[in-house]
Amino acid sequence: MRPSFKGLVIAGVLGALSLLTAVPAATPARAEEVPEVVRLGYAGGPRVWMLGKADGSFEKAFGTSVKWIPFASGADVLTLLAAKELDIVRFGSSPATAGIIRKLPVEVVAVSGVIATSERLIARQEIASVKQLEGKTVAYPANSTAHYALQAAFKVHKVDVAKVKQVTLKPAELVAAWSRGDIDAAYVWGPFTQQLEAQGGKEILASRDLQKDGYYVWNNYVVRTEFAKKYPQIVVKLLQVHQQKVDQYKADPEDSAKIIAAHLNVDLDATRSTLAGLEYPSLAEQLTPRWVGDGATTPDSTIARGMADTAAFLAEIGEVRKADIPPSFAPFINTTYLRQAVGQK
């Protein structure tokens, strides 16, 4: 953290009748430069951090304007990051891992939420288990946490994937395909899960069910390294606002859900369900090995190990080359901003 400098005035008393001489205060350290705009990427589903989008907290904290750039899938994010059209983005662990493997100049700076029941596998009424997806058509958004979770579910439940027809669709397209009867099941996030259930679907698995088998999925805050180096306090303030909004949600989940539902113009019940379907480790908790660690403990943290597992999965399905996977993901997790956000050095 940049140290705080105070002007120093030295007064010399040269006797009772001497002149009082003062050295002028040193010039204060120049405030960090602020960009004209911060380009922040987001998916449109209900999330707790959106309380800050709704009330302008991010703009107020940054001291500048925010350009909100929506995206429909992780693949879209990787394209935008490669083109340097995003500065900060909140997106899933699978595409973030893929971006790092593809050598995008980005770094993970925090977890925004651990996916528990906000992403689920929804199937037709006649399908009672994951194993029964053999012979069926299953959809998911490409390069997403839902994609990773679906493949993990297949492994855990010993599904013969050769017998499953898998199709990649964006969430809105997925709902349309369900309405037409083109698919039998889908792994996706809210509010799309609730839309599938409203049309006769039922949950057969949630991402939280996979944690006992060692499979974790989560959402990150990812920043372009060039931007973070130039504007480190913007990143710190982002995380501080995030924590404020987590605290706001935990203090009053119902009011928070109403604000977000109104802001997004989506169903309130679906918003409640989606918000409650994530776990929100505090910034201080994230600095433990349980999540991202404090730098020294990051190599053995849940998130670093989870990224390695995700990388192996991505190589297995041909999304990345195994030879491109780094030996550790710890160097791509920068805890500097987390430590500053909670007042640690």
Give the CATH number, domain containing residue 200: 3.40.190.10
The answer on 323 and 280 residing in a single domain is yes
The answer on 182 and 238 residing in a single domain is no
Say if 289 falls within a structural domain.
Answer: yes
The answer on 134 and 254 residing in a single domain is no
Whether 7 has a pLDDT exceeding 70, the answer reads no
The answer on 159 and 63 residing in a single domain is no
The answer on 230 and 202 residing in a single domain is no
pLDDT given for residue 340 in this prediction = 97
Whether 128 has a pLDDT exceeding 50, the answer reads yes
Whether 13 has a pLDDT exceeding 80, the answer reads no
Total of domains in the chain = 2
Residue 345: pLDDT band with limits 50, 70, 90:
low
The answer on 319 and 170 residing in a single domain is no
**Predicted confidence (pLDDT) per residue in 74-89, tens digit:** 888 999 999 999 999 9
Which of 4-13, 48-57, 64-73, 124-133 has the lowest average pLDDT? 4-13
Residue 29: pLDDT band with limits 50, 70, 90:
very low
Q: What is the mean pLDDT of the chain?
A: 90
The answer on 189 and 83 residing in a single domain is no
Q: Which domain holds residue 250?
A: 37-115+217-341
pLDDT given for residue 344 in this prediction = 77
Whether 52 has a pLDDT exceeding 80, the answer reads yes
**What is the distance between the alpha carbons of residues 98 and 144, in angstroms, rounded to a whole number?**
10
pLDDT given for residue 4 in this prediction = 40
pLDDT given for residue 142 in this prediction = 85
**Predicted confidence (pLDDT) per residue in 205-253, tens digit:** 999 999 999 899 999 999 999 999 999 999 999 999 999 999 999 999 9
Say if 15 falls within a structural domain.
Answer: no
Contacts of 277 (CB under 8 A, 6+ apart): 115, 116, 117, 118, 119, 120, 190, 206
Residue 44: pLDDT band with limits 50, 70, 90:
confident
pLDDT given for residue 26 in this prediction = 38
**Predicted confidence (pLDDT) per residue in 140-184, tens digit:** 998 789 999 999 999 999 999 999 999 999 999 999 999 999 999
Say if 222 falls within a structural domain.
Answer: yes
Q: Name the pTM for this structure.
A: 0.84
The answer on 146 and 52 residing in a single domain is no
Choose one of 171, 189, 213: the last residue of a domain: 213
The answer on 143 and 49 residing in a single domain is no
Whether 38 has a pLDDT exceeding 60, the answer reads yes
**Predicted confidence (pLDDT) per residue in 186-202, tens digit:** 999 999 999 999 999 99
Say if 181 falls within a structural domain.
Answer: yes
Rounded mean pLDDT, 38-62: 95
Percent of the chain with pLDDT over 90: 84
